[in-house]
Structure 1
Amino acid sequence: MNKAELVEAMAKITSATKADTEKALDAFIDVVSNNINSKDGVKLVGFGTFSVSDRKARMGRNPQTGEEIQIPARKVPVFRPGKELKEAVK
């Protein structure tokens, strides 16, 4: 499902216009993006938690040449599903 399909499905459920639904979805994405770095990230009980994780620096290998390369440490976004979401997938 892409963004347009998600907006259409949400609009059907909420009986809102597609334009209003897209604005709401964009606002949700902006809020999560701007607040993911906070101490606890963004928690949606039953759905999941958006947070940031630190990856340590490590050695990797260039698959074309086999040469070892240093991969620097970085921060990456992480989503941990909640209990209800996990059960919905079963």
Structure 2
Amino acid sequence: MRNVLLLALLAVSPLALAKTECTSADKAQWQNPDTFQQALKSQGYEIKKFKVTDGNCYEIYGWDKDKRKVEIYFDPVSGKKVKEEID
């Protein structure tokens, strides 16, 4: 049983455990979070949850304009998508 657990732990990709990093820029250079969220909403996003991650990303949970469930990480300086998961 221990061998099975060990193999399962070794099979986990290091990339799956990696933290998404967005920027090392000073927060004074970041876009205003409220303005950023309003811009996303004007593009058709419905935001359920918005947060700043440990990797200095703006992260949203919600739905896109096609009503698909999304989790998206954005660079708070440029506003570009860094990572996106769609259900």
TM-score, reference length from structure 1 = 0.27
- Determine which structure has the larger helix proportion and give its number: 1
Bigger relative contact order (CA 8 A; separation at least 6): 2
